[in-house]
């Protein structure tokens, strides 16, 4: 009897709470429209421009001939004749589609060749490829940890890492950006966890700064933790012949999971993990985005393979990328722009306010320079910026043209 009274009181209390805090339901389109209006008011809407020609330093964008300074095509490979030929040859040999997921009937000999070439390039025992870098992070992280484990993640890690972490049931802790002493602090009270997985971007995609990998390796070794590095912006950029961040810091073999993408310096699309044979075999059996989604089509795999071979054989591409990076960064800084802590070809021009970032990008587009404003939620609300990325395909003349346009637009907006 007493239990019944308690139960009814509880139900009544819940009903009252429900009525008090209940949502006023709106038709979906009304709700979406009002959300879009909020985004527009805060200058946070994406206005997507369209390329009518290949991704290259000079392109036609929204009908206008412009200098492109915002692609991830670091080595200018996206429109390289060798990659295009390889894509055509792979299509002729294997067809347009792979026909299946990798584990059923979607592994072709060309997928194997790419994995072997990539393992050679990364100096790892093996590699495994995925449909995209996003699918790699979203699938691999949950395959490695569960409710018995802890993830410790840099606060500025890429969204695909964040989503990968959210898909696990592991505990999560976040350490201050690139701060190894704060990382060290996160190891307090961790005895109860079966595994501790530390995850960091190699090069941070919005700021262009580099993770202090040598110190991170030492910290994880001291604590018997596991290290996962996202080298999306390090491949083709850092290390000898663009081998990536582990090569750059001379810690090859000490990063347990090296993840990367073919969508940036390699000029194509796709993701990968490089590591031990056992790790790759395990991931082949456990990663849901690998097991449950169609494999990369042959044309993409053929182009990725040609890209890896080309980067390996032509160190001049990486050297030119760095020469251009040094020249352009110095130019922006000497004009007085705030370029943050960038150490790589990703150079932000920080405006703080999102409206200012938009206006700067619009003014530059009028000057025939294509850059994009990067605003919240990709960066903090007060850290809006225009992000520039030079490539090895830009000429000195291109960079001078861009610097003049930045000077004009920057002065007009009183940024310099």
Ligand X SMILES: Cc1ncc(COP(=O)(O)O)c(C=O)c1O
271 binds ligand X per the rule CB under 6 A: yes
**Least distance from C-beta 300 to ligand X, angstroms?**
11
Binding range to ligand X, per CB under 6 A, among 174-182, 190-198, 228-236, 397-405: 228-236
Contacts (Cβ under 8 Å, ≥6 apart) of 381? 354
- Catalytic choice (127, 153, 205, 354): 205
201 binds ligand X per the rule CB under 6 A: yes
The correct pick among 77, 232, 274, 301 for binding ligand X (CB under 6 A) is 232
Q: State whether residue 210 is helix, strand or coil.
A: strand
Taking the C-alpha atoms of residue 273 and residue 104, their distance in angstroms, rounded to an integer, is 20
242 binds ligand X per the rule CB under 6 A: no
160 binds ligand X per the rule CB under 6 A: yes
Taking the C-alpha atoms of residue 70 and residue 40, their distance in angstroms, rounded to an integer, is 22
Cα torsion angle, 116, 118, 120, 123, sign:
negative
Measured CA distances, 398 to 23, 84, 361, 368 (Å)? 54, 25, 17, 11
Residue 264 a catalytic site member: yes
261 binds ligand X per the rule CB under 6 A: yes
The correct pick among 74, 94, 121, 134 for binding ligand X (CB under 6 A) is 134
351 binds ligand X per the rule CB under 6 A: no
Binding range to ligand X, per CB under 6 A, among 36-44, 131-139, 213-221, 407-415: 131-139
DSSP one-letter string for 118-143: HHHHHT-SEEEEES-HHHHHHHHHHH
- Catalytic choice (248, 264, 356, 394): 264
The answer to whether 168 and 142 are in contact (CB under 8 A) is yes
The correct pick among 115, 149, 230, 398 for binding ligand X (CB under 6 A) is 230
227 binds ligand X per the rule CB under 6 A: no
Binding range to ligand X, per CB under 6 A, among 15-23, 99-107, 108-116, 128-136: 128-136
Taking the C-alpha atoms of residue 378 and residue 307, their distance in angstroms, rounded to an integer, is 29
The correct pick among 98, 124, 186, 205 for binding ligand X (CB under 6 A) is 205
The correct pick among 158, 178, 356, 394 for binding ligand X (CB under 6 A) is 158
Contacts (Cβ under 8 Å, ≥6 apart) of 16? none
DSSP 8-state secondary structure symbol assigned to residue 203: B
Total residues binding ligand X (CB under 6 A): 14
- β-pairing verdict for 346-352 and 384-389: antiparallel
**Least distance from C-beta 264 to ligand X, angstroms?**
7
Residue 84 a catalytic site member: no
The correct pick among 71, 168, 263, 391 for binding ligand X (CB under 6 A) is 263
Q: Which of 74, 108, 36 is nearest to 322 (CA)?
A: 74
Residue 58 a catalytic site member: no
Q: Which is nearer to ligand X, 248 or 356 (CB)?
A: 248
> Each residue of 278-289: b (16+ CB within 10 Å) or e?
ebbeebeeebeb
140 binds ligand X per the rule CB under 6 A: no
208 binds ligand X per the rule CB under 6 A: no
Q: Which of 57, 90, 130 is nearest to 393 (CA)?
A: 57
The answer to whether 207 and 384 are in contact (CB under 8 A) is no
Q: Which of 45, 34, 1, 21 is nearest to 373 (CA)?
A: 45
- Catalytic choice (111, 122, 158, 233): 233
301 binds ligand X per the rule CB under 6 A: no
Q: State whether residue 41 is helix, strand or coil.
A: helix
Find the residue with minimal CB distance to ligand X.
Answer: 133
Query: Under the rule (CB under 6 A), what is the footprint of ligand X?
Result: 132-134, 137, 158, 160, 201, 205, 230, 232-233, 261, 263, 271
Positions annotated as catalytic residues are 205, 233, 264
């Amino acid at each position: 009897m007493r239990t019944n009274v308690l139960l009814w009181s509880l139900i009544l209390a819940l009903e009252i709470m429900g009525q008090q805090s209940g949502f006023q339901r709106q038709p979906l389109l009304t709700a979406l429209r009002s959300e879009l209006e909020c985004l527009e008011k805060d200058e946070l809407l994406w206005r997507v421009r369209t390329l009518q020609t290949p991704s290259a330093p000079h392109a036609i964008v929204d009908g206008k001939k412009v200098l492109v300074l915002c692609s991830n095509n670091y080595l200018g490979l996206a429109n390289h004749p060798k990659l295009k030929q390889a894509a055509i040859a792979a299509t002729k040999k294997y067809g347009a589609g792979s026909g299946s997921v990798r584990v059923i009937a979607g592994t072709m000999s060309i997928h194997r060749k790419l994995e072997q070439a990539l393992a050679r390039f990364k100096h790892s025992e093996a590699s495994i490829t995925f449909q995209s870098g996003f699918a790699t992070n979203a699938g691999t992280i949950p395959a490695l940890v569960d409710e018995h484990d802890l993830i410790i993640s840099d606060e500025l890690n890429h969204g695909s890492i964040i989503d990968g972490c959210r898909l696990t049931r592991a505990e999560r802790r976040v350490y201050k950006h690139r701060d190894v002493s704060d990382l060290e602090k996160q190891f307090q009270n961790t005895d109860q966890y079966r595994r501790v997985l530390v995850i960091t971007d190699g090069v941070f995609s919005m700021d262009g700064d580099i993770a202090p990998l040598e110190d991170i390796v030492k910290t994880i070794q001291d604590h018997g933790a596991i290290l996962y590095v996202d080298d999306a912006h390090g491949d083709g950029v850092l290390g000898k012949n663009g081998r990536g961040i582990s090569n750059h810091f001379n810690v090859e073999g000490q990063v347990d999971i090296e993840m990367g993408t073919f969508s940036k310096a390699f000029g194509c699309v796709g993701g990968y993990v490089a590591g031990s044979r056992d790790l790759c075999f395990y991931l082949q059996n456990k990663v849901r985005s690998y097991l449950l989604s169609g494999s990369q089509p042959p044309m993409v795999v053929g182009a990725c393979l040609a890209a890896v071979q080309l980067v390996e054989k032509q160190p001049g591409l990486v050297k030119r990328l760095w020469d251009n990076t040094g020249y352009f960064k110095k130019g922006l800084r000497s004009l007085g722009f705030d370029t943050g802590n960038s150490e790589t070809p990703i150079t932000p021009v920080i405006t703080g306010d999102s409206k200012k970032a938009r206006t700067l990008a619009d003014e530059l587009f009028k000057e025939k320079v294509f850059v994009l404003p990067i605003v919240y939620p990709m960066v903090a609300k007060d850290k809006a910026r225009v992000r520039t990325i030079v490539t090895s395909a830009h000429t000195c003349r291109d960079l001078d043209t861009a610097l003049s346009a930045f000077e004009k637009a920057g002065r007009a907006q009183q940024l310099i």
